[in-house]
Chain A
Amino acid sequence: MLMIDNLTVSYGEHRALDGIDLTVGDAEIVCVLGPSGGGKSTLLRAIAGLESPTTGRIRRDGADLAGVPTHHRRLGLMFQDHALFPHRDVIGNVMFGLRMHGVSRAEARTRASETLTLVGLGGYEQRAVHELSGGEQQRVALARALAPAPALLMLDEPLGALDRALREHLVDELGALFRTLGLAVLLVTHDHDEAFALGDRVVILNRGRIEQAGSPVELWTRPATAFVADFLGWNVTRALAPGLVAVRPDALRLEADNGRPAPRMLGTVTRQTFRRDHWRIHVELADGTALDVELRDSRAPELGAAVAISVDPADVIALPD
């Protein structure tokens, strides 16, 4: 169990992390989601002891980690760029942590081999790391972090360096692996799909502050702040209600303007993009604001077409102003 109370990391005037409270339970997978520069990596580095907190406490199983040097924290950290040791072969990389924890060479070799098999790299022991593909390097980095059986596994954009097809495949694989091993995992990413697919809990971090935390479904259905709604691709607008509200693009319905009365808004199509299985239609309303509408239809209204947008009031979420 990792508990973080009121963690702040400042660099001069700038607060990379600002009053973070966060818990990662045993066998829980927590995904921290946020834009680049939001403080995600700093959070992992502070937990690892690579950055010094300005204020706040980090405890693992009740024990305060302040003053515990990085190498005694029993954590796993996988870097986005993998940071494999170029002068060691694959098994040498995976054995490193075991050897540092005093495991004998022979046993370290056996356990490293087992870990490599676990991540699907059995037989890769003697390969040089620079000969490996991006996906294989990612697995070696994962095996290296897993091998010493860390109390908490932290991953910094684990799939960020990989191409899209590989990423989608590995998300499923990673999730299955984490649950099989019953690991406590803290993963940071800027990719929604990754966070929602893997996390038991998703924490949205922006400018060093937690905007919202909750289960994937909670977050996806009830964004609590304008930032979260916007970040998750919702329309954030004042056009639908007296105050600031959020509405999902797929909750909006588009009709040709047939002159029927409200509740609906009139506007003009100014942009249309085809996205695999839907159209995204950008509509500019009469008052100058704009809404994105997701349209599941093979045909889209033409540019400049006058359209009417209607919405079920139940799909509209009020946001704090």
Chain B
Amino acid sequence: MTPRTRAVAWAAVPVRWVRVGVPVAFLVAFFVYPVATILGRGLWPDGHLDLSPLGDVVGDAALRDIAWFTVWQAALSTVLALAVGLPGAFVLARYRFRGRALVRALIVVPFVLPTIVVASAFLALGVEPSLGAILLAHVFFNYAVVVRIVGGLWAHLDPHQEEAARVLGASRVRAFAGVTLPALRPAILAAASITFLFTFTSFGVILVLGGPTRSTLETEIYRQTAQLLDLRTAAALSILQLVAVVVLLIAAGRFQGRRDVALGLRATSDTARPVRSLGDRALLGANLTLMLALLGVPMAVLLARSFATANGPSFGFYRALGELRSGSVLFVPPVDAIANSLLFAVVATTIALVVGGLAAFAVVRHRRGRALEAALALPLGISAVTVGFGFLIALDEGPLDLRTSWIIVPIAHALIAIPFVVWLIAPILRSIDPHLREAAAVLGAPPRRVWREVDLPIVGRAFAIAAGFAFAISLGEFGATLFIARPERPTLPVVIYRLLGQPGAQNFGAAMAASTILMALTVIAILTAERVRVGDIGTF
């Protein structure tokens, strides 16, 4: 070994350890440890194993009903999201029309909106808390999941396959069922499992739109902890939910593992066709109308209601956010929450980018990176409420005594944002064509220059988009925050929830105004990130 290669090897060791070590340490301290504490609190109350809380929960008819409702509302939400989303996916994948790129970008906006904003928007529409309201909100959120995941694959499917089936004597319907549907199955399953997971652990929507009588495991954990102070039952429910989610993730992974059929994928530019016939036009028109009605109208009405004071259109509700009214459930004027939310979002984004960025490099460069990726996704699957609950009971002693510090909030937000950061950055790291680096090297660029000219512009852009997402997630995070935010340092979603819980048109209007501000901040964060270009590379 020459001295030079030895030096390189020595330098490489710490980087490797940092890349893997930091994400693992973060995960252990802020996820494994709190969840283990929940398990301990629930099942080892006095130093020995006691499964009776689980038994009590399973034996409780009311809790069984809640569990059953959790499952079937999620299943129904998933079916509805697929039913509404698949035609949308088809239209955006197969038709070339003016504004397609814009529509594709816009439908993602609902997905990143805070749940509490969406719940407010449906209340603003005049929707009464009901099962229908829950389902509507869930479809609103997950429409983009179905359209983007299924449409993403659909746009790459060779349209000749379906045409070949037609020429061979299959009707449109049979050609779709026999050829296209099997090819889309992995994407449909992926979209369905993600939608099911999101709706299974949905919190803000159920809390606000479910009304007092409907609750899911997620809201019940919150109620048992925050209202009934029954930590053992809450822990048992958390464990049940955790098991359900893990089983679901494994099952989904199994299904997706079978997608290794070569699909004969095409570049998307070859597969879309112009809108020609009357049928094409009707299908496209119907879907665009649906998108506008389902996704656009609630947001527009929310905006309108925030200005609709008793004395006509004014900034009255916005001005009210600056006041702390007597008899309010809030400890600080709502406007303070804007500053809190922004501060938390900056800190959470920083943590998420550092930890998630390192993890993304680890995921791409290490053989067992996939395991890390899956482990980091767990907090997302296991639900925000469990994370918040875990923080509350675990981080109260020793070096991790953070319960009274505000930093606990951005840490929880980062934990939830990290999987998204990894998912956004890792594929891009993986996709950098080695030929690009080789071409730059052959053209005379030294290694550092190659990194700056090739990797940095591409990775930099991925980081910018991830930062926008992390920022939006932190701004909108509700379930964990509701547990751990100190009353004197609430975030915008918490304030909105408190305002919605108060009677009176003034409070409702203030909630609308706060929701509008939160919606605007989220959209600005995402749009800003989308526009960032590092280096002078164009879109890719």
Q: List residues of chain A with CB under 8 Å of any chain B CB.
A: 11, 45, 48-50, 52, 69-77, 79, 81, 83-87, 96-97, 100-101, 128-130, 144-145, 148
Residue of B nearest to A12 (CB): B274
**B169 near A100: Cβ-Cβ < 8 Å:** yes
Task: Judge whether B402 is part of the interface by a CB distance below 8 angstroms.
Answer: no
**B264 near A84: Cβ-Cβ < 8 Å:** yes
**B163 near A97: Cβ-Cβ < 8 Å:** no
Task: Judge whether B190 is part of the interface by a CB distance below 8 angstroms.
Answer: no
CB contacts (< 8 Å) of B174 on chain A: these are 71, 100
Residue of B nearest to A94 (CB): B168
Interface residues on B, range: 20 to 34
Instruction: Among A72, A79, A83, A96, point to the contact of B178 (Cβ < 8 A).
Output: A96
Instruction: Among A48, A74, A83, A86, point to the contact of B261 (Cβ < 8 A).
Output: A86
11 more A-B residue pairs beyond the given contacts A70-B163, A86-B264, with a C-beta to C-beta distance below 8 A: A45-B163, A50-B166, A70-B167, A71-B175, A75-B167, A79-B160, A81-B158, A83-B264, A84-B264, A85-B178, A86-B183
**B163 near A86: Cβ-Cβ < 8 Å:** no
For this complex, 16 residue pairs linking A to B, each with C-beta atoms less than 8 Å apart, are A69-B171, A70-B167, A71-B169, A81-B264, A81-B266, A83-B160, A83-B164, A85-B179, A86-B183, A96-B168, A96-B170, A97-B168, A100-B165, A100-B174, A129-B262, A130-B264
Q: How far is the CB of A143 from chain B (nearest CB, A)?
A: 12
**B274 near A11: Cβ-Cβ < 8 Å:** yes
CB contacts (< 8 Å) of A73 on chain B: these are 167
CB contacts (< 8 Å) of A128 on chain B: these are 261
**B168 near A144: Cβ-Cβ < 8 Å:** yes
CB contacts (< 8 Å) of A101 on chain B: these are 169
Instruction: Among A52, A81, A148, point to the contact of B168 (Cβ < 8 A).
Output: A148
Interface centre among B160, B175, B277 (most CB of A within 10 A): B160
Those 6 A-B pairs whose CB atoms lie nearest each other, nearest first: A100-B169, A97-B168, A130-B262, A83-B160, A70-B166, A77-B167
CB contacts (< 8 Å) of B182 on chain A: these are 85, 87
Q: How far is the CB of B356 from chain A (nearest CB, A)?
A: 35
CB contacts (< 8 Å) of A81 on chain B: these are 158, 160, 264, 266
CB contacts (< 8 Å) of A144 on chain B: these are 164, 168
Given that A52-B277, A81-B158 are contacting pairs, would A96 and B165 also be in contact in the complex, using a CB cutoff of 8 Å? yes
CB contacts (< 8 Å) of B228 on chain A: these are none
**B167 near A86: Cβ-Cβ < 8 Å:** no
Q: How far is the CB of B69 from chain A (nearest CB, A)?
A: 37
Chain B 173-197, CB within 8 Å of chain A: the 1/0 string? 0110011001100000000000000
Interface centre among B167, B170, B183 (most CB of A within 10 A): B167
CB contacts (< 8 Å) of A96 on chain B: these are 165, 168, 170, 178
Instruction: Among B167, B171, B274, point to the contact of A76 (Cβ < 8 A).
Output: B167
CB contacts (< 8 Å) of A74 on chain B: these are 169
